[in-house]
């Protein structure tokens, strides 16, 4: 492992951390909402994302780097803020779903940053599949919101 990460390593690690955070935040939303209509969809999204997390970790190791993990203190603070925002909202479920959609759009931006960093050659299929999964996730979350 090098002391300095390449643009490709940074891009993949950013994508990995954000992906892990989406799983953690979806799990938190499942526990917070405890909604039989929404829970199965969120669990499916978490399961799909876990598959990508494993593949991203492998890609990072193939580049000679070690996978990063989210900052637990920052993540706890974000979840607390999400809870407060949702509690103050007139529609808690809609607020939580909007937070998840916003997070998915952020992950999509990070996938695009991976393309920009030149990861298309070795990891193009992973990125394309992940983009498709993110778009599908946003559609499913939008449908729950309606």
Distance CA 19, CA 56 (A): 9
**Calpha distance 112→115 (Å, rounded):** 5
Per residue in 76-102, pLDDT (tens digit) is 888 888 778 877 777 888 999 999 999
pTM over 0.85: yes
Q: What is the mean pLDDT of residues 111-138?
A: 93
Does the domain at 7-145 match CATH 1.10.3710.10? Answer given as: no
SS3 124: helix
Task: Give the pLDDT confidence of 2-30 residue by residue, as tens digits.
Answer: 568 899 999 999 999 999 999 999 999 99
User: How confident is the model at residue 138, as a pLDDT?
Assistant: 97
How many Cα atoms sit within 13 Å of 15 on the Cβ side?
A: 34
Calpha distance 113→59 (Å, rounded): 15
Q: What is the pLDDT of residues 96-122, one digit of tens each?
A: 999 999 999 999 999 999 999 998 777
CA distances from 55 to 33, 67, 87 (A): 30, 11, 36
pLDDT band with cut points at 50, 70 and 90 for residue 130: very high
Residue 133's pLDDT is 97
**Which pair of tokens denotes residue 58?**
């492998």
Question: Residue range 41-70: average pLDDT?
Answer: 94
Tokens of 106: 């952020």
Contact 100, 26 (CB under 8 A): yes
Q: Which letter does DSSP use for residue 61 in this model?
A: H
The answer to whether the CB of 110 falls within 8 A of the CB of 53 is: no
């Amino acid at each position: 492992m090098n002391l300095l990460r390449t643009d490709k390593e940074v891009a993949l690690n950013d994508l990995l951390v954000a992906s892990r955070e989406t799983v953690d935040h979806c799990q938190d939303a499942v526990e917070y909402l405890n909604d039989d209509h929404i829970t199965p969809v969120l669990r499916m999204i978490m399961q799909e994302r876990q598959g990508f997390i494993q593949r991203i970790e492998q890609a990072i190791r193939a580049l000679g780097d070690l996978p990063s993990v989210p900052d637990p203190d920052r993540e706890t603070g974000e979840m607390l803020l999400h809870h407060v925002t949702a509690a103050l909202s007139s529609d808690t479920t809609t607020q939580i779903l909007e937070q998840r959609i916003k997070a998915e759009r952020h992950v999509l931006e990070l996938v695009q940053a991976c393309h920009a960093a030149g990861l298309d050659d070795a990891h193009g299929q992973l990125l394309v599949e992940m983009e498709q999964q993110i778009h599908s996730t946003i559609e499913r979350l939008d449908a729950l919101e309606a």
